[in-house]
Chains A and B, each alone.
Chain A
């Protein structure tokens, strides 16, 4: 499933980047070292963190998208960094748990699964 197809199914909002990438897995975590250790290329990463280093981690692992739950505001600086580095960011109204449930219902599995 591509990020664009995920947007179509969920109604989540594209905040930065483009939605062309394929989603290979999903991961929910707010500790960046854990995400660095376990993330994979194509992962959709759900996190409440919105600072600039989220973009660095997502870019290093070439994540398919970063999903920010609960309509948490994302700063202009983070959006600009995401656009510059080609990182796709989505905003969702649901919680991290809700985002995980939604992606699981579309057949998106865990990292390494």
Chain B
């Protein structure tokens, strides 16, 4: 199926000043093309959590948004250092964020669970060279599923 739109957003490690900008652009794009507000909310929450994970934990990477007639794809690829135990990382409340980051209100251990809860398809693979998160959101399904 041919994608009708694709845009990539570079994410810089530890760039807290620009944190959330990629997610804001994604939200604006979805709003501009008339996606259901409830679905926009789900994509925005997932995008923001993925963006923050890359800023806090990774060496940086790329978020890529692709929109086909029936699906929104969000791919998040970073360059490491990877997640050593994905099963633990998926548990609500588990976090490896350092104390200074927790003081800012991050590191609640809700990031990956929030992403999974808000996406229709969730796939994560990780090794020392990086983490690859692939999300799908069904456009034709009722937006406020979770």
Contacts and interface: CB of A to CB of B under 8 A. Distances in A.
B18 to A, nearest CB: 9
Given A34-B110, A37-B110, A57 B48 contact: yes
Interface residues of B, number: 21
Interface residues of A, number: 19
Interface string B42-63: 0011001100100000000000
A47 B105 CA distance: 10
Contacts, number: 60
Interface in B90-108: 104-106, 108
Contact of A49 (B16, B27, B105, B117): B105
Interface centre among A36, A49, A61, by most B CB within 10 Å? A36
Interface of B: 16-17, 19-21, 23-24, 27, 44-45, 48-49, 52, 104-106, 108, 110-111, 114, 117
Interface of A: 30-34, 36-37, 47, 49, 51-54, 56-57, 59-61, 77
